[in-house]
C-alpha cells in the first residue's frame, strides 16, 4: 500500500470517528456496532497478507519449516551403476556424522527380489551383508542415517555382480523328499576341484529337527559329507541348504546353485553280519526282528569289516568280475535283490547259485554278503527277498569278525567308520 492511499484511509477513519461520536452522543447502540465493524475491516486492509506465522512467533523466515539439512552422510560401496562387482567383500554401507538406522539390499533393479541379510554395527557406523552375493545379479541398495539432532539423510544405489566364465555345482545325496534309513549321511560331490574348501563349506548348512550337532568332513577336494556323532534318530527331519551361487570355489570358479533339500529319517535299522558265525541279526529301533543265515567272503576274498550304508537297491542286476578286479572269475547277469554297500563293489544280495544248506555254514563269495534266494527275484518267501523288502537306502549293515580290514569311510556312504574326534578335526 502506498503513502497516498494510507493518508486517505487515515482521513476517512478520523472523519468516521467524528460522525460516530455524534451518533453515540445521540444514544445509538447500532452506530457503535457499525463503527467497530468498519474499523476491523480497515485494519485488515492496512495489514495486508505479507505477515507470516514465522514473523508472528518471532522466528522470521519465508513461511517454510525452517529445518536445517541433516549432517549425516551415507556412503555406499560399490558406487551407483557399477558392473562386474565381486560377490564377496565389495558391498559395504557406512555413515559419517551420524548413525545408520535402516539398510535394505534386494535383488532386482526395482528392489523387488530376495532381500540380502545383513547387520548394522553396534555403533551404527557401518552395515555388511551376512553372506556372499549371487553372480550376474543386479542389486538395489537403500540406506537411511540420522545425525545427532535426529535429522535423516538417505541414499540409493544399484550395481551388478560379476558374471563368471567358469562355474561349479554340487551333486547331493539323498534327494529332496526322500525317506531314508538312520545311517544316511549328507554327501555333496562337486564337479570341479574345490581349492577354497572352508569358504564353500560355510555356504552349505545341514540342520535337523529334533536338533543335532552336525559337522562336515572333506574327502579330497571334490567331496564333502555331513553327519551327526551317532546315527540319526527315527523320524528326524533334515534340511540341506546349498547357498553356492556366488561362492568362489577355486580362483575364478564360482558356484551357481541355490537350493534347499529336505528328507526324513524313517527308522533306525542296523543289521549286524558276523562273518565268523555266518549269521546276520536285524535290529530295528532297538528291537531284534530277525536272524538270517548268510555266506560272506571266502578266506581268499574276505568281506570288509565295518559299518556300511545301503546306497542303492536293485531287484535284479548283473555282476561282472571284470568291473571290480576279478577278471573273468564270474559274470552273473541276474543277481536278485542286490543292495550296494560300497563304491568298490561290495553288495548284500540274494544268491540262487549256492545250495541252501551252505548258508550259515560256508563263506564262499568274492567279498559280498549273500542270502539264500530264488532266480529272478520273484519269490517273496526267501531270506533274500525278505531282507530286500524290509530294507531301505540309508539302512546300516555292519560286518564284524571278518579277516579283512575296516572299510574306508569314503568307500561308499560309510562315514561312520571314522570316529567323531577325527571327523571334526581341522582339515
Residue 208 — φ and ψ, nearest 5°?
-140, 150
Handedness of CA 386, 388, 390, 395 (dihedral sign): positive
- Which one of 132, 217, 366, 368 is the catalytic residue? 368
Handedness of CA 196, 198, 204, 206 (dihedral sign): positive
Q: Distance between CA atoms of 329 and 175, rounded to whole angstroms?
A: 36
Q: Distance between CA atoms of 333 and 226, rounded to whole angstroms?
A: 35
Sequence-distant (6+) residues with CB within 8 A of 128 are: 91, 92, 93, 118, 119, 121
Q: Distance between CA atoms of 152 and 164, rounded to whole angstroms?
A: 38
Residue 120 — φ and ψ, nearest 5°?
-80, 135
Q: Distance between CA atoms of 401 and 363, rounded to whole angstroms?
A: 12
349 has catalytic annotation? yes
Q: Distance between CA atoms of 419 and 403, rounded to whole angstroms?
A: 21
Q: Distance between CA atoms of 53 and 281, rounded to whole angstroms?
A: 95
Contact 113, 160 (CB under 8 A): no
Q: Distance between CA atoms of 375 and 335, rounded to whole angstroms?
A: 8
Rg of the chain taking only CA atoms, in angstroms: 42
Contact 370, 351 (CB under 8 A): yes
The position carrying cell 468498519 is: 38
* H or E element, residue 40: helix 29-47
Around Cβ 65, how many Cβ atoms within 10 Å? 7
- Which one of 132, 217, 337, 349 is the catalytic residue? 349
217 has catalytic annotation? no
Catalytic annotation, residues = 349, 368
Amino acid at each position: 500500500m502506498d503513502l497516498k492511499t494510507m493518508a486517505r484511509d487515515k482521513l476517512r477513519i478520523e472523519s468516521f470517528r467524528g460522525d460516530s461520536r455524534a451518533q453515540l452522543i445521540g444514544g445509538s447502540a447500532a452506530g457503535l456496532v457499525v463503527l467497530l465493524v468498519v474499523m476491523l475491516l480497515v485494519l485488515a486492509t492496512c495489514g495486508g497478507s505479507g505477515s507470516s506465522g514465522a514473523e508472528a512467533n518471532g522466528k522470521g523466515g519465508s513461511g517454510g519449516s525452517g529445518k536445517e539439512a541433516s549432517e549425516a552422510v551415507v556412503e555406499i560401496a560399490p558406487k551407483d551403476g557399477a558392473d562386474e562387482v565381486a560377490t564377496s567383500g565389495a558391498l559395504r554401507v557406512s555413515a559419517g556424522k551420524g548413525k545408520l538406522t535402516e539398510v535394505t539390499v534386494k535383488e532386482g533393479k526395482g528392489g523387488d527380489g530376495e532381500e540380502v541379510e545383513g547387520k548394522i554395527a553396534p555403533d551404527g557406523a557401518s552395515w555388511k551383508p551376512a553372506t556372499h552375493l549371487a553372480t550376474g545379479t543386479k542389486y538395489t541398495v537403500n540406506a537411511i542415517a540420522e545425525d545427532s539432532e535426529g535429522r535423516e539423510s538417505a541414499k540409493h544405489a544399484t550395481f551388478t555382480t560379476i558374471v563368471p566364465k567358469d562355474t561349479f555345482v554340487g551333486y547331493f545325496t539323498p534327494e529332496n523328499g526322500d525317506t531314508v534309513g538312520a545311517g544316511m549321511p549328507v554327501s555333496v560331490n562337486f564337479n570341479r576341484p574345490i581349492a577354497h574348501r572352508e569358504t564353500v563349506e560355510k555356504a552349505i548348512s545341514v540342520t535337523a529337527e529334533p536338533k543335532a550337532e552336525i559337522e562336515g568332513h572333506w574327502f579330497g577336494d571334490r567331496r564333502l559329507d555331513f553327519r551327526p556323532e551317532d546315527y540319526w534318530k527315527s523320524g528326524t527331519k533334515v534340511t540341506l541348504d546349498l547357498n553356492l551361487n556366488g561362492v568362489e570355489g577355486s580362483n575364478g570358479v564360482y558356484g551357481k546353485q541355490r537350493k534347499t533339500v529336505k528328507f526324513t529319517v524313517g527308522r533306525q535299522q542296523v543289521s549286524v553280519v558276523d562273518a565268523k558265525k555266518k549269521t546276520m541279526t536285524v535290529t530295528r529301533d532297538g528291537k531284534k526282528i530277525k536272524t538270517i543265515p548268510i555266506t560272506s567272503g571266502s578266506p581268499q576274498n574276505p568281506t570288509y569289516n565295518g559299518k556300511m550304508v545301503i546306497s542303492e537297491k536293485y531287484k535284479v542286476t548283473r555282476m561282472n568280475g571284470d568291473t571290480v578286479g576279478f577278471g573273468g572269475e564270474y559274470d552273473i547277469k541276474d543277481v536278485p535283490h542286490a543292495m550296494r554297500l560300497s563304491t568298490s563293489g561290495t553288495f548284500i544280495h540274494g544268491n540262487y547259485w549256492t545250495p541252501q544248506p551252505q548258508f550259515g555254514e560256508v563263506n564262499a563269495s568274492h567279498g559280498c554278503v549273500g542270502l539264500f534266494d530264488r532266480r529272478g527275484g520273484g519269490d517273496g518267501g526267501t531270506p533274500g527277498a525278505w531282507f530286500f523288502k524290509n530294507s531301505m537306502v540309508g539302512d546300516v549293515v555292519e560286518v564284524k569278525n571278518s579277516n579283512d580290514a575296516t572299510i574306508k569311510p569314503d568307500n561308499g556312504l560309510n562315514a561312520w567308520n571314522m570316529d567323531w574326534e577325527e571327523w571334526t578335526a581341522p582339515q
